[in-house]
Amino acid sequence: MKLYSLLLLLISITFVASFSKELEKEFKAYVKKFNKKYKNKFEENRAKKFFKKCLNEINETNKKNLGFTLAPSVFCDQDPKTFHKGESLSVPAPPLSLGRAVSFVDPSIYPPGPPSVDWTTSGCISRVKDESFYCGACYAFSAIAALEAHWCLKNNISVTMSEQMIIDCTNKYYGNKACEGGSQGASWTYIQNIADGIESDETYPYNEFNESIAKTFQPCKYNRSRSVATVIGYSRIRSNNPELIKNAIAAVGPVAASMNGAIPSFAYYDTGVYSDPACIPSMSHSVLIVGYGVDDSVDPPMPYWLCKNSWSSDWGGMQGYFKIQRGVNMCGIENQLVYPIVPDAASYKAKKRIG
């Protein structure tokens, strides 16, 4: 144990010696920009080690002119192996039969969508949220982001809903595991079958920014009389059919998707259309696809999905959004597409009063 600590100390001393003045300056600016705080010198040196690695990765990738660029993101001082660790446990969606009105979307169901769609201009996409480094609840953020959008598109009511409620209340159901992964389908099925509702962010706020809290299961504090919306089913779009996904997004609105989010080049994404051949389809992260198009600034022009992430609006160079190559199942993003079906707000309100 002692020997091990000594070894670590030696390594960190050796390492600091190799941290140039220039790097030191860049690190200082980085710490300031993201308001980073380290508990002690050891933590700081650890952060510096990863920061240096991160800059190298950025440098190497940007040199390749892949059509996207990287920059030091909020994750640049962290071990790439631990990015949102819980999300590597992303679980499959529950059987479709669990929901009351779940359907598989037939490939021919939607008319061809226009060349580009951007739902962010609809006024129905809520602010970019932050799941926090300590909590792998991307599934809850993806499910809620989709629900907020569909509730608003259907009812013209814009309200932000509670991911914390999903984390606290669904962990006994359908395979969801609080801060250690889950699925959008399980979250909607819980809202539909068990809670018959979801509270707002305001009455049930997010509190996973504290590491020790994020490691603990918190009791479910749901109160149905405070519910602001609900779900009456969800649809799953057939995998690996980019044309169908595109048409569905144009016809119904944003669609929740899962992808590989555990690779450094994605964690440091800045601008452009993300497309790294190393990003194999292994589901570890969930997002919301809010549109699509073709980026002409890339040569040759590259089709993309426009996605809303949940790593704060400080992540990347697009206020928390990113573009990812469309049509090639980049990072597996064309594998698991689902969207919620929502009722008329007036009928839900009437039913709530009776029920």
The active-site residue out of 138, 152, 179, 307 is: 138
Inter-residue contact 326 to 303 (CB < 8 Å): yes
Listing DSSP states for 253-305 in one string gives --EEEEE---SHHHHTEEEEEE--TT--S---EEEEEEEEEEETTSSS-EEEE
Rounded Cα distance between 222 and 203, Å, is 10
Residue 213 or residue 294: which is nearer to ligand NAG going by CB? 213
Identify the active-site residue in 124, 176, 285, 307. 285
Q: Which of 134, 132, 191, 186 is nearest to 161 (CA)?
A: 191
Q: How far apart are CA 23 and CA 315, in angstroms?
A: 21
Residue (30 or 234) nearer to ligand NAG, CB? 30
Q: How far apart are CA 107 and CA 272, in angstroms?
A: 30
The nearest distance, CB 277 to ligand NAG, in angstroms, is 21
CB atoms within 10 A of CB 284: 23
Q: Is 285 a catalytic residue?
A: yes
Query: Whole-number minimum distance, CB 347 to ligand NAG, in Å?
Result: 17
H or E stretch at 234? strand 233-237
CB of residue 240 vs ligand NAG: minimum separation in angstroms? 36
Task: Answer for the pair 186, 176: CB distance below 8 angstroms, yes or no.
Answer: yes
Selecting among 76, 84, 309, 331, the annotated active-site residue is 309
Nearer to ligand NAG, 124 or 289 (CB): 124
Min dist. Cβ of residue 156 to ligand NAG (A)? 4
Active site residue 138: yes
Q: Which neighbouring-strand residues pair with 286?
A: 258
Identity of the residue, 252 or 306, whose beta carbon is nearer to ligand NAG in the bound complex = 252
Q: Give whichever of 108 and 225 is closer to ligand NAG, judged by the CB atom.
A: 225
Q: Give residues in contact with ligand NAG (CB under 6 A).
A: 55-56, 59, 156, 210, 212-213, 223, 225-226
How far is the C-alpha of 195 from the C-alpha of 231, rounded, in Å? Answer: 10
State the nearest-atom distance from the C-beta of 45 to ligand NAG, in Å.
18
Would you name the residues annotated as active-site residues?
A: 138, 285, 309
